Structure 1
Amino acid sequence: MKILITSDSHGLVHELDELIKTHQDVEFYIHCGDSELPSDHPSISEFITVKGNCDFGSDYPNERLIETKMGKIFVTHGHLYDVKYGLNKLKYKAMEMGANIVCFGHSHIVGMEEESSILFLNPGSLRLPRMRKERTYLILEWTDLEKIVHTYEYGKGKLFQKHFPNK
């Protein structure tokens, strides 16, 4: 299974359309909030999305739990879990939900780490990256043996990948 994960696009439209055109081989698309687009906007309509702290007046949910054939994915923006100060609150919520993977944004910093058998994925930002210059997004390949996280720079291709064996 392949999943595209993005976040913090802050009003971008063309870039979201291009992600879908470029990566038609994924099973679904996740946007971790701060799209700043109405939920009925055509450029966000293909994405499973949540409400970010800059999505004022939106009718997006604060979080979602996606059940897949491989396991559960918890999606939130992160601001309600203080992700800029650590992942503990998010970890406990993920454990409560029985999630194998957590997708979140808010910090604009691309990152991935595994803790307590939960894989935490932050795709960074398509518009305003922090800690690096590249505008990033992720593609998760989830197989019976492992999770492979591919980090992409928008418009330029793959930057690196990291493997996480299934436990």
Structure 2
Amino acid sequence: MKILIVSDTHRYLGNLQTALEEEEPVDMLIHLGDIEHQMADVIQMAGCPVHMIAGNNDFLCNLPEEEEFEIGSYHVWITHGHRYGVSFDTEEIKEEARILGADIVMFGHTHRPHLEEEEDLIALNPGSMTYPRQSGRQPSYMVMTLDKEGKASFEIKYL
């Protein structure tokens, strides 16, 4: 199973389209917020199941702020992250993820890719497809792959 994880597209879907083309086929798309009123376009582009949550710039939309679901044997919690201090560190969001019983927490907001794999929890941020803030400022996303045994691996990718 191949999952494309993106965040912070901020109304510009060109890089998302490029990532979908480069990674096709994908079995699922996860968007971690700051879509800004392009929800139907994202769903139509993906051509696969889509999980999307609202970010701090998604005003007057009907998306949930958080969602929990299963990917294989993993309990996944997605949130934009701005309510959990992710601009400073990941301690608060990881604490909440553990309270929720999550194996994986996915968040956006910082516009910087981040991957922490601890013994009991994986915390990840794919960065921004539109306004990257990390060194080099390349648009980024992540690919999560489940192997035949159901073990997850993650890769940060750049456009």
**What stretches of structure 2 of length at least 5 have no aligned partner?**
none
Shift of 1:148: 2.1
Indicate the residue corresponding to 2:42 in structure 1: 43
Q: 1:150 aligns with which of 132, 142, 155?
A: 155
Tell me, yes or no, if the aligned pair for 1:70 and 1:142 is still in contact at 8 Å.
no
Matched position secondary structure for 1:20? helix
Greater RCO (Cα-Cα under 8 Å, separation 6 or more)? 2
Instruction: Between 47-56 and 136-145, report the one with greater CA deviation.
Output: 136-145
**Aligned AA (2:69):** I
The question of 1:97 aligning with 2:122 is answered no
Separation in 1 of the partners of 2:11 and 2:71?
Answer: 29
Tell me, yes or no, if the aligned pair for 1:76 and 1:104 is still in contact at 8 Å.
yes
User: Which structure has more helix as a fraction of its residues?
Assistant: 2
Matched position secondary structure for 2:30? strand
Indicate the residue corresponding to 1:34 in structure 2: 34
Indicate the residue corresponding to 1:10 in structure 2: 10
The question of 1:141 aligning with 2:145 is answered yes
Tell me, yes or no, if the aligned pair for 2:6 and 2:128 is still in contact at 8 Å.
yes
**Aligned AA (1:37):** H
The count of corresponding residues between Structure 1 and Structure 2 is 153
Separation in 2 of the partners of 1:13 and 1:145?
Answer: 31
Matched position secondary structure for 1:105? coil
In the superposition, the TM-score normalised over structure 2's length comes to: 0.86
**What stretches of structure 1 of length at least 5 have no aligned partner?**
155-167
User: Which structure has more strand as a fraction of its residues?
Assistant: 1
**Aligned AA (1:73):** V
Residue deviations 1:135-156 (CA, integer Å, cap 9, x gap): 00000113337432122112xx
Identity of aligned residues (%): 33
Indicate the residue corresponding to 1:24 in structure 2: 24
In the superposition, the TM-score normalised over structure 1's length comes to: 0.82
Alignment RMSD (CA, Å): 1.8
Tell me, yes or no, if the aligned pair for 1:32 and 1:76 is still in contact at 8 Å.
yes
